[in-house]
Structures are given as C-alpha cells and as structure tokens.
C-alpha cells in the first residue's frame, strides 16, 4: 500500500506546506552562493556532488514545478508511483544534453518517447527539518527502495580538502560537466540565498536580457553577429561568441533571458570573455 503524505511526513520528519494540495509552488527554493564569495574553514563539514546540467524542479507530491513556479507537465506514467512528499531535484538526461532535456520537460504536451530518456535526480527534501546529512540519507534510501527506473538521486561524497576538491572540479570540467555543488552537512534547508549550499565552477554563469541584435560581418554576413544584452544592474554589453550557425540564423528574441558564461569582470563591472550558452525556457 502506498504511504499517505502524513505518514511519510511523520516518518521522515517533514513539514507539509499548506499549499501542498493545490497546483502552486508552496516553497521558496534554497539558492547557492558562489565559491569565491564563501570563506570555508572546515572543508570536512561539506559533502560535494556534480552539478547536473539539467532542469531544476520541485515535486510537490502530485505535480512538478520549475523554480519560478511554472508547472511542468510530466506524463501520467512518470508521476504515477512517485512519493507523496516534497522533493527537489534535476530533470537530467546526461552531460551536454540540456537542450534535449529542456525540449522534453518544458513541452505542455508531454511526449512519452522524449520522457523515456529523462530521470528525476533528487538532491534535497525542502520540507524536512533535518540537517543535510540526514536528508541525504533519507532521499537516497527512498530512491533505492522505490526502485523506479526514472527516479534517481544525486550522489554526494565527503570533502577531503580544498586541493582534492579542485582536482575533482577540473576532472568534471574536462569531461564536459557543469561543476560541483557543496552542501553543509549540518545545514538545514533555508529559503533564499544560503551559505549552506555552494557552487563551484571553472567559469561563472549568469543571466541577461536581450535588448538588441547586431548584424554580422564577413562569414556572418546576413545573420546575427552579436547580441546586445542588459544585466540585472542595468549595464549593457555584447555577446558575440558561443552561437551555432542555427542560432545565428534564428537568434533569441528581443526580451528573452539568456544564460551566458564568463570569466570574471572588468574594472567597470562588465563580464570578461562572455559567450552565449542557451535560453532556459523554465526561467522565462
């Protein structure tokens, strides 16, 4: 018999949100701080995992939502046997498969064949009052016991030292991975930006809004040369690299929010070596 939400909540030490029974986002997600902005003294206080390059999602116990609260329409068979407790995770196919993942996940009419390639990789239990060590044990055991093919969990490992972690980061980056996530073992789930979660990347990602298309020259004559974009603080700059031929011929629309990658900032606060990555429709 499938456990009730209340029984699972009592068993796992959860607090079920009042909006749990409605089609809404009943929580405010915990957001990571960047590695450079967080002074770490005791590295052994953290567990690390690979940062999956997928679509972050919240499972309310009956429906999926993006971080911004937009409902994700998964097929009935995908959600049929999922537990009746809040879970947070990543829809993921594999490394360098973000576009395919987004195409499937953000379609309001789910395609069964596309969804067969997707797994929901759990990385937290946002309604739990326990520290992360206990939460990790709970969602790992839950995923293993349920044995649902498309339900997995993000494996976490103890941090030995900063140098060992940076070595792992370089290995993940060389293999095409997104980066690493650190979670404080004693940390509770905190809404908003929290030092309990730290992201590590070789390069930083950020978002900007498209405010103009600049015509290409030379081999890009007749198609996009660069995007003119605006940062949240109002600064404007150009992004001219990172585009495929198809993206130059069909550039992001004016007003779209795009993700770009960069390596720090100039003295004027403009991103260095900015290159286009993608449009994430879950964030529009």
Query: Boundaries of CATH 2.40.50.140 in the chain?
Result: 204-283
pLDDT by residue (tens digit) across 130-182? 999 999 999 999 999 999 999 999 999 999 888 899 899 999 988 888 899 99
Nearest of 131, 118, 122, 193 to residue 153 by alpha carbon = 122
- CA 103, chain centre distance (Å): 15
Task: Name the CA radius of gyration of the chain, rounded.
Answer: 20
- State the CB neighbour count (10 A cutoff) for residue 41: 5
Q: How many angstroms separate the CA atoms of 67 and 59, rounded?
A: 10
The DSSP string of 108-164 is: SS--HHHHTT-EEEEEE-TTB-S-HHHHHHHHHHHHHHH--TTEEE---EE---HHH
**Structural class in CATH, domain 204-283:** mainly beta
Residue with tokens 């792992």: 168
Band of pLDDT at residue 284, cut at 50, 70 and 90: confident
* List of residues 6+ apart from 247 with CB closer than 8 A: 224, 276
Nearest of 271, 235, 239 to residue 258 by alpha carbon = 239
**Structural class in CATH, domain 5-200:** alpha beta
Q: State residue 109 phi and psi, 5-degree precision.
A: -120, 90
* Residue 37 scores a pLDDT above 60: no
Band of pLDDT at residue 45, cut at 50, 70 and 90: very high
Contacts of range 144-148, beta carbons closer than 8 Å, 24 or more positions apart: 146/81, 146/83, 148/81, 148/82
Which stretch, 15-29, 191-205, 209-223, has highest mean pLDDT?
209-223
* Residue 249 scores a pLDDT above 90: yes
Query: Boundaries of CATH 3.30.470.30 in the chain?
Result: 5-200
Give percent of the chain above pLDDT 90.
Answer: 61
Give the pairing type, strands 151-153 and 157-158: unpaired
Dihedral, CA atoms, 41, 42, 46, 50, nearest 10 degrees?
60
Which stretch, 23-27, 238-242, 265-269, has highest mean pLDDT?
238-242
List, by residue number, the catalytic residues.
51
What does the block give as tokens for 101? 């993942």
What does the block give as tokens for 69? 């609260």
What does the block give as tokens for 35? 């590695």
* Residue 23 scores a pLDDT above 60: no
Contact in structure between 213 and 87 (CB atoms under 8 Å) = no
């Amino acid at each position: 018999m499938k456990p009730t939400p209340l029984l699972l909540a009592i068993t796992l030490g959860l607090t079920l949100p009042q909006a749990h029974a409605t089609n809404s986002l009943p929580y405010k997600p915990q957001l990571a701080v960047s590695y450079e902005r967080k002074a770490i003294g005791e590295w052994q206080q953290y567990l690390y995992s690979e940062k999956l390059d997928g679509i972050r999602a919240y499972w309310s116990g009956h429906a999926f939502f993006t971080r911004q609260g937009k409902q994700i329409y998964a097929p009935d068979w995908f959600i049929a046997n999922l537990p009746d407790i809040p879970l947070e995770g990543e829809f993921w196919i594999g490394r360098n498969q973000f576009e395919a993942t987004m195409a499937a996940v953000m379609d309001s009419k789910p395609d069964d064949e596309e969804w067969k390639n997707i797994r929901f990789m759990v990385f937290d239990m946002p309604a739990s009052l326990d520290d992360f060590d206990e939460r990790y044990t709970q969602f790992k055991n839950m995923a293993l016991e349920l044995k649902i093919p498309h339900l997995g969990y993000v494996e976490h490992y103890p941090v030995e030292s900063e140098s060992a972690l940076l070595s792992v980061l370089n290995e993940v980056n060389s293999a095409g991975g997104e980066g690493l996530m650190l979670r404080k073992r004693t940390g509770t789930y905190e809404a908003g930006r929290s030092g309990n979660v730290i992201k590590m990347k070789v390069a930083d990602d950020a978002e900007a809004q498209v405010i103009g298309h600049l015509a290409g020259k030379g081999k890009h004559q007749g198609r996009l040369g660069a995007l003119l974009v605006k940062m949240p603080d109002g600064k404007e700059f150009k992004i001219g690299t990172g585009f495929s031929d198809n993206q130059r011929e069909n550039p992001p629309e004016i007003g779209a929010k795009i993700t770009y990658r960069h390596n720090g900032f100039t003295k004027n606060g403009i991103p260095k070596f900015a290159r286009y990555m993608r449009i994430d429709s879950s964030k529009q």
